[in-house]
Structure 1
Amino acid sequence: MSNPDDAPALATVAILALPEVTASVLFGLSDMFVGVGRDWPLVVEGRPGTSSLHVQIVSADGRPLTIANGVQVVPDASIADAAPPQVICIPEVFLLPDAEIRGRFPAEAAWLREAHARGAIIAAACSGALLMAEAGLLEGEDATTHWAYCDVLAQRHPGIRLHRRRALVTAGEGQRLVMAGGGTSWQDLALYLIARLVNLEAAMQMARLYLIDWHESGQQPFARLSASRQSDDAVITRCQLWVADHYGEPSPVAAMTRLSGLAERSFVRRFQQATGLSPLQYVHHVRLEEAKQLLEGSEDPIEAIAGQVGYEDAGYFARLFKREVNLTPAQYRRRFAGLREVLQQGRTG
């Protein structure tokens, strides 16, 4: 039996709370990071997992503060008392673009410099790059920020190589300076950091749970994930476990019926009661989830993927995929394989 004391320490992420931060970004980042490792098994299997990151909200003095839009925040610690973080996230600096920032955050700027010198990753969403620049971390480096703040950043810090159109920029020694542009770019930033701190699959799981960057697709590509939860019926659970490994075999419903030892009508009724899906619907669900993984992670032709997951007729597979996922296999691949590639680069860069 393994000793809990031998388990690897969780990476610590500190999210910097300033009065000039909005609640949606501050708590959105916190929710994303805390949910890594915890929320995917909760949704898919019906059991909560364990968070893979240690997350703390910190402020200059650790006292309760009122942030933008009048929301009250109680930090977990002051910057002096916080556990040494592997990553510091600056959610934003919600000021008018031409507002003076020099000398406004001296304690926070000094803390960022010290943490970076110790090897921490400093990451900023939206206008948070202004504070990184104020701390002197971006001089001579590549950077990006929200489009409304690009001119100000360029004027005040002409030594920065500003990339106005790039959504995500990494810079500095060890790529330990990370910046994301637009208003909801904190989601992209969080995914990048999750891939880098935990692993690529954890980031992809959070992308699916949060529907990140593909909201126009609706929830159909993800909503049926909960169907794979194991039931409380031991007989049906045994069939679910079997089909998880044998979904590509011919006539899997007939095989599950034999495995159950039940009459066909009794099996279908009991399976439906336990899972909310008919046995055939469940098989389709498992096959399509595997097809998504293959579309994301391989360059195999769609026809080959159809065969790998159990469909001899690639046209039928494509129609079924479109009906259930609300995207064609090719559309799904373009969107999610691209995300996986970006996050993979972040993981190995």
Structure 2
Amino acid sequence: MNERSPVRICILALPETSASVVYGMYDMFMSAGRDWGLIVEGTPGRAPIAPLVVSRHGGAFIAGNNVRITADAPLDACDDADVVCVPELLVPPGEPLAGRFDDEIACLRRCHAKGKILATACSGAILLAEAGLLDGLDATTHWAYCDFMSRQYPSIRVRAHRALVASGDGERLIMAGGGTSWLDLALYLIARLAGIETAMQTARINLVDWHDVGQQPFARLARTRQAEDAVIARCQSWIAEHYAQPSPVGAMMQMSGLPERSFKRRFQQATGMSPLAYVHTLRLEEAKQMLETDRQPIEAIANEVGYEDAGFFSRLFRRKVSLTPAQYRRRFGAMRDAIGCISETR
């Protein structure tokens, strides 16, 4: 980068994206290098990044949540960009995408072949997977899409615990996890393209806190998404209410009437998890809820969700959630209390 040539970033907007992410990224990139001087010295600094909103045909269209987005240019503008950013896709995990984003996928493949950086926020990583650009690589996406990505694209190594992953040749494929981790993505790109100090200044101005614990503390299991396999779906319904009982996997296997190997194979195929991993996930989700809403000792919560050994529970929780139970309670219990206090004053 030199004084006369700011880095060109195209932000790809689709009808399935949120305007808040599209324009939030745009504002962050515009703020970099410019606003710190304006606030501290009274004179805007030189902007090292030039963002542009692009869409399939350019112009105005209605995006997610019925918000109008006006693109600056059509997809072809990406050919002249240095970086292409893809916000999230507001589509349910597992919804067929065949033929739906052909133009955008062709654009991403073309830009990747030309050596450009491709960056995605949230579920936008699904487009990179559909384009075949993540085969054999580490990747991440929104926690609700991680299991789907693992099943649909088995050659991709999905890192569900990580809020940001940079992969591929020259680390030109960059993915942020879920929700507001697009802020992490924007700061990472600013640091990489304009320098760490510029990124730090942008973070200070916008009061952005890096999601250093990853996205797993925010994850929830979609219990209502039943498997198409009727036998396994019946087991899912039962375990949702009986996860705390002793030997739950054996009980499900007995209920299924299947041999052990057949049961485990069909359960894994239907849910994307082994029966034991599914039970652990249900138990930890209930433990999260209890840690947020009551003040029972952690040992009591462990016992209530099915773990006699509180030490094992704490180690498992730390490995799966990236926080200890006590850390989780401090972070999310305090958040719930604060939101409750605000609600009560209205």
Specify the TM-score bucket, using the shorter chain as the normaliser: 0.5 to 0.7
SS of the aligned residue for 2:5 comes to: coil
In structure 2, runs of 5+ residues without a counterpart are 212-346
SS of the aligned residue for 2:17 comes to: coil
Deviation at residue 102 of structure 1 after TM alignment: 2.5
- Give the conservation status (yes or no) of the 8 Å contact 2:11–2:84: yes
Q: Which residue of the partner structure matches residue 342 of structure 2?
A: none
- Give the conservation status (yes or no) of the 8 Å contact 1:138–1:160: yes
1:306-325 equivalences in 2 (<5 Å)? none
Q: Which residue of the partner structure matches residue 44 of structure 1?
A: 40
Distance 1:10 1:158, change over 3 A: same
Post-superposition CA distance 1:173-216 (Å, at most 9, x none): 0000000112001000000000111111000011111111279x
Does structure 1 residue 24 correspond to structure 2 residue 30? no
Q: Which residue of the partner structure matches residue 72 of structure 1?
A: 68
SS of the aligned residue for 1:80 comes to: helix
Q: Which residue of the partner structure matches residue 177 of structure 2?
A: 181
- Give the conservation status (yes or no) of the 8 Å contact 1:41–1:49: yes
Farther-moved stretch of structure 1 (75-84 vs 119-128): 75-84
1:54-203 equivalences in 2 (<5 Å)? 54-82=50-78, 84-203=80-199
**CA RMSD across the alignment:** 1.5
Post-superposition CA distance 1:90-142 (Å, at most 9, x none): 01111111222222100100000000110100000110101111111111110
Distance in 2 between residues matched to 1:194 and 1:46, nearest whole Å: 22
Aligned residue identity for 2:122? C
- Give the conservation status (yes or no) of the 8 Å contact 1:12–1:83: no
Distance in 2 between residues matched to 1:197 and 1:111, nearest whole Å: 22
- Give the conservation status (yes or no) of the 8 Å contact 2:143–2:178: yes
SS of the aligned residue for 1:119 comes to: coil
Deviation at residue 88 of structure 1 after TM alignment: 0.5
Instruction: Figure out how many residues of one structure are paired with residues of the other and give that number.
Output: 210
In structure 1, runs of 5+ residues without a counterpart are 1-5, 216-349
Distance 1:186 1:42, change over 3 A: same
Distance 1:8 1:50, change over 3 A: closer
- Give the conservation status (yes or no) of the 8 Å contact 2:52–2:73: yes
* Structure with greater Cα Rg: 1
Please, what TM-score do these two structures have when normalized by structure 2?
0.59
SS of the aligned residue for 2:120 comes to: strand
Q: Which residue of the partner structure matches residue 300 of structure 2?
A: none
Distance in 1 between residues matched to 2:205 and 2:30, nearest whole Å: 13
Distance in 2 between residues matched to 1:173 and 1:185, nearest whole Å: 23
SS of the aligned residue for 1:88 comes to: strand
Distance 1:104 1:214, change over 3 A: closer
Aligned residue identity for 2:80? P
Distance in 1 between residues matched to 2:30 and 2:210, nearest whole Å: 22
- Give the conservation status (yes or no) of the 8 Å contact 2:10–2:77: no
